[in-house]
Amino acid sequence: MFDALIEGLFLVLQWKAFSLMLVGMGLGFCVGLLPGIGGAATLALMIPFVFKMSPVEAFAFLLGMHSVAATTGDITSILFGVPGEGLSAATVVDGYPMAKRGEAGRALGAALMSSLVGALIGAVTLAISIPIVRPLVLTFGSPELFMLSVIGIACITSLSGLSARGQIRGFATGMLGLLLSTIGQERQSGSLRFDMGLMYLWEGLDLVPVLVGIFAIPELVDLAVRGTSIAGDRPAENLSRGVMEGIKDTFRHFWLVFRCSAIGVFVGIMPGAGGGVAQWMAYAHAVQSAKDAKDRERFGKGDVRGVLGPGAANNSKEGGDLVPTIAFGVPGSGAMAILLGAFMIMGLVPGPDMLTKHLAVTYSMVWTLVIANIITVLLSLAVLNQLAKVTHIRGGLIIPFVLLLVFVGSYTANGQIADLIVTFCFGLLGYLMVTWGWPRPPLVLGFVLGKLVETYLFISVSRYGFAWLAHPIVIFLIVLMVVVIAYPFVREKPAWVGGGD
């Protein structure tokens, strides 16, 4: 095994594989910065180019691109409040307020370093877990995956106010998100729901226009209202010091980064749990880790922990995602399903062969994740000084350019004018929600998880009736869900009992 690990490293370091990895990284860097054009779509576009490559070269190219897109997506989220990737939305919640406070360098430093740590943890997990993860994945059927999604929804508790009314608002907006996810064709029977006679809605609302609209438009409106630069009239931060501070923050809160990375790996390993879930669960966990209500108040207003958690989970998920893809040929996400296509093109069959005959190729993927992330973070740190200066440019100059990115990004979802209208509507909704004090993160969490919850619930009930509720892992997960919901209240008991409605 150790020999294969070393062989995998040398395979990646061969000049051709390494050069292709650098090319892939360059593409991934740009794709990550552009809102809407996700890593999965770019993987699909690049698949035709791998036909003449060897397996190691092809995976160095594709994985180099994919892993970098996850990292650089955070940069746009922090600088403009526009999710660079659909999955980077949770980074916006605290990253953009930090940029508004003149701490863009610190936020970027924290995001990049936590992404690197997350990616390394994901890669190490991939390296050591492939032979032992089989029983875990096979134990998780639809009931367990349903409960896992419900735990994700239970994270709403952490994202809502701790008062009774705050909790109601959190759960109500979460439910609104769940309802929005039901728009379109119902997967089991094929019936149409809330399609308003529009063919556009048959496939349901796409994540990109919804996320970009609900997060980016309100921030752009606020920028226009303020009439200043993103960082306002605050003096420019000492960028080098700010970036270093962000890097130090990663190690100051290393235990949190580690836990959030573990969440990312776990969600990644579970096939079909969805990439967006990992970031939001990690974000909710970061909020739950606040010492008390006062400490918790900092989240959403620019707390570096709100950047560290999602940043780490977003990248550790990539390693986790690869585990079921390589070990069983079960893709953990859309991107991995496309990568599975590359396996077929290369003539590789995911499964036992990847752990025996092609173990060196498998480890070359691990090394690609490690090397690509290290190079990206180092390169990004080198150009951060220039990137962060954007936050000091007058808002009036920035707004039309960001609007261009927002709407072209949304348009990539379906290539229809309706994508722009959906973005506008959710922008308006997001603006009203912030103005009126209703939280947006629970809505997004509900929307992201809605389809999964409904599908897994349907399969569980169809297959097991209600007997699935007695599955041992389901019972464990129900207990875990109760803990997730009760934890913020138990922690805040004196304040909550005395200060609630």
Partner 1 sequence: MKVSGHVLFSVFLILVAGYVVYAASHWSFKTGFFPMAVAVPLIVLALAHLLLEVFGAPEKAGGPAVEAEFSNDVSPEVARRRVIEVFSWIGGFILFVYLVGFPVAVPLFIFAYLKVQSQVRWLRSMVLTAAAWGFFYGVFQRVVRLQFESGAIQFWLGL
DSSP, residue by residue, 476-500: HHHHHHHHHHHHHHHHTHHHHHHH-
Query: Is the CB of 61 or the CB of 299 nearer to partner 1?
Result: 299
Q: How many CB atoms lie within 10 A of CB 295?
A: 13
Instruction: Give 50's contacts (C-beta < 8 A, 6+ positions apart).
Output: 57, 58, 61, 62, 342, 345, 346
Cα-to-chain-centroid distance, residue 305: 15
Query: Is the CB of 46 or the CB of 327 nearer to partner 1?
Result: 46
Cα angle, residue 333 at apex, residues 364 and 59 outer, rounded to 5°: 20
Q: Provide the H-helix boundaries in 232-290.
A: 239-252, 254-269, 275-288
Q: Provide the H-helix boundaries in 329-416.
A: 334-345, 352-355, 359-388, 395-411
Query: Is the CB of 301 or the CB of 463 nearer to partner 1?
Result: 301
Q: How many CB atoms lie within 10 A of CB 194?
A: 13
Whole-number minimum distance, CB 395 to partner 1, in Å? 8
Whole-number minimum distance, CB 228 to partner 1, in Å? 8
Query: Is the CB of 42 or the CB of 362 nearer to partner 1?
Result: 42
d(CA 495, CA 501): 12
Distances (CA, A) of 402 to 225, 336, 407, 493: 15, 30, 9, 43
- Tokens describing residue 61: 């190219």
Query: Is the CB of 95 or the CB of 122 nearer to partner 1?
Result: 95
Three-state SS at 102: coil
Whole-number minimum distance, CB 41 to partner 1, in Å? 9
Amino acid letter, residue 446: G
d(CA 22, CA 376): 10
d(CA 6, CA 2): 6
Q: Position of tokens 């919901």?
A: 485
Query: Is the CB of 223 or the CB of 278 nearer to partner 1?
Result: 223
Whole-number minimum distance, CB 121 to partner 1, in Å? 25
Whole-number minimum distance, CB 244 to partner 1, in Å? 26
Instruction: Give 28's contacts (C-beta < 8 A, 6+ positions apart).
Output: 39, 42, 64, 65, 66, 67, 68, 69, 72, 372, 376
Query: Is the CB of 9 or the CB of 44 nearer to partner 1?
Result: 44
User: DSSP state, 192?
Assistant: E
Query: Is the CB of 7 or the CB of 222 nearer to partner 1?
Result: 222
Query: Is the CB of 246 or the CB of 450 nearer to partner 1?
Result: 450
Query: Is the CB of 160 or the CB of 364 nearer to partner 1?
Result: 160
Whole-number minimum distance, CB 178 to partner 1, in Å? 5
- Residue 464 burial (C-beta neighbours within 10 Å; 0-12, 13-18, 19+): middle
The backbone region for 245, taken as left when phi is positive above 0, alpha when psi lies in -120 to 50, beta otherwise, is: alpha
Query: Is the CB of 358 or the CB of 440 nearer to partner 1?
Result: 440
- Tokens describing residue 476: 């464990």
Whole-number minimum distance, CB 297 to partner 1, in Å? 6
Query: Is the CB of 202 or the CB of 476 nearer to partner 1?
Result: 202
Whole-number minimum distance, CB 364 to partner 1, in Å? 28
- Tokens describing residue 279: 């970031």
Query: Is the CB of 379 or the CB of 428 nearer to partner 1?
Result: 428
Q: In the 3-class helix/strand/coil scheme, how is 426-441 assigned residue by residue?
A: HHHHHHHHHHHCCCCH
d(CA 371, CA 12): 9
- Tokens describing residue 471: 């599955």
- Residue 472 burial (C-beta neighbours within 10 Å; 0-12, 13-18, 19+): exposed
